[in-house]
Amino acid sequence: MTTSTTTELLKTPLHAMHVDAGAKMVPFAGYDMPVTYPDGIKTEHLHTRAEAGLFDVSHMGQALVKGAGAKTDLEKMLPLDLDALAPGHSVYTFLPNADGGIIDDLIVTCWDEQTYFMVFNAACKEKDIAHFQANLSDASTLELLEDRALLALQGPAAAEVLSVLNSDTAALVFMTGKHLSINHVDCYVTRSGYTGEDGFEISVPAASAETLAKCLLTSPKVKWIGLGARDSLRLEAGLCLYGHDMDDARSPVEATLMWAVSKERRRAGQRAGGFIGADAIFAKQTEGASEKRVGFLVDGKAPVREDADIVDAEGNLIGRVTSGGFAPSLNAPVAMGYVKAEFAAVDTQVFALVRGKPRAMTVARTPFVPQNYFRG
């Protein structure tokens, strides 16, 4: 996880609740955030897989791009076919720079043909905002939703818990959303998340966030979950973390994220390219990436951490680990990272250097555990 060392940390509207719950607080993306609670990361992780975990993700950026030119402007910046994104539907995408690197990854939801709701990474807020403001025309505007908190309710019991507060939530399927009253508060609810489980993200007015969180926590199926388990859950689900598994210098071709380019905007699509960085990305496709992001199953029980060098059987440097840790659902360590393309095939054996000693790893498909999104 990317952390901040600033002494002037921001606080989410739920900060006092985390402290009262006994959370260990750490600096993260400029905020004082809960990394774990007294039960510990492993217990929090397994609880989310079995029942429902409640995550405070209010540090994330929330914004609207709206206006008559919103669709056209966004399609110049994002590799999306927004004509195919119906109101109430969401899509995962990335924000490319002119060199074909990734400024950030984000979720875009269509509210209507002139209004798009975006959630982006906390550590990328400033550069994302600057990029949007520099590239939006006079026909659209960027509105930051700084008066809203964001809660994620994740796990197989999430739908049952939330439907008690509004039965209409049960009709949502993965990557759809709706304006709904939750606990008598106007919220925007999407069926989405960052754990690989079924679940919801709830955008709620900051002033009502604590009341809503307390209401959700009255269910015995719901427990607070911190950043530590959020990281292990997303790693098991094979989900990238910005600044680790992708960044400004990495092409989506290398990061194996070309599936996030809408079909119409791909190299052979009817509206190919036309977005910032498209030419560089397509050129990388043509020449072929020298490195690829892959998953690894790690021999033994000790985890392999980020920045560990990866070598071949002869000790030649072939890559680097970008995310690594213990996977409680598997009771084994897993990792993701980049290796030279010739070592990227599934079942290829490589080695991570840990304290100068090689640890055997096998290239594996991701996700490492099944994704349980509700698709109806």
Predicted pLDDT at 232: 98
pLDDT at 360 over 70: yes
Q: Rounded CA gap, 309 and 356, in Å?
A: 9
Predicted pLDDT at 2: 44
Predicted pLDDT at 4: 44
Predicted pLDDT at 7: 67
Of 40, 44, 63, 42, which Cα lies nearest the Cα of 52? 44
Dihedral, CA of residue 291, residue 296, residue 302 and residue 304, to nearest 10: 20
DSSP annotation of 242: B
pLDDT band of 6, cuts 50, 70, 90: very low
Dihedral, CA of residue 195, residue 199, residue 205 and residue 210, to nearest 10: -80
Burial letters 199-229, b for 16+ CB under 10 A, else e: bbbbbbebebbbebbebbbebebbbbbbbbb
Q: Rounded CA gap, 271 and 311, in Å?
A: 41
Residue 235 CB-half CA count within 13 A:
32
Contact residues for 193 (Cβ-Cβ < 8 A; gap 6+): 152, 154, 199, 200, 201
Alpha carbon separation from 292 to 171, 250, 305, 319, 340 (Å, rounded)? 38, 10, 18, 9, 6
Tell me the mean pLDDT in the region 231-238.
98
Q: Rounded CA gap, 73 and 80, in Å?
A: 11
- Which domains occur in the chain, in start order? 15-61+147-236 (3.30.1360.120), 290-376 (2.40.30.110)
pLDDT at 214 over 60: yes
Q: Rounded CA gap, 328 and 67, in Å?
A: 46
Q: Rounded CA gap, 64 and 89, in Å?
A: 15
Q: What is the per-residue pLDDT across 315-340, written as a single tens digit (0 to 9) for each?
A: 999 999 999 999 999 999 999 999 99
Q: What is the per-residue pLDDT across 283-319, written as a single tens digit (0 to 9) for each?
A: 999 999 999 999 999 999 999 999 999 999 999 999 9
Strand segments (E) across the chain: 24-28, 31-36, 52-56, 61-66, 90-96, 102-112, 115-120, 141-144, 148-154, 177-182, 185-190, 199-205, 222-224, 291-298, 309-311, 317-327, 332-340, 349-354, 357-364
Q: Rounded CA gap, 14 and 360, in Å?
A: 42
pLDDT at 343 over 50: yes
Dihedral sign of CA atoms 263, 90, 56, 63 in order: positive
Within 10 Å of residue 328's Cβ, how many Cβ atoms?
20
pLDDT at 178 over 70: yes
Q: What is the per-residue pLDDT across 75-105, written as a single tens digit (0 to 9) for each?
A: 999 999 999 999 999 999 999 999 999 999 9
pLDDT at 156 over 80: yes
Strands 185-190 and 199-205, by their bridges, are: antiparallel
Predicted pLDDT at 162: 98
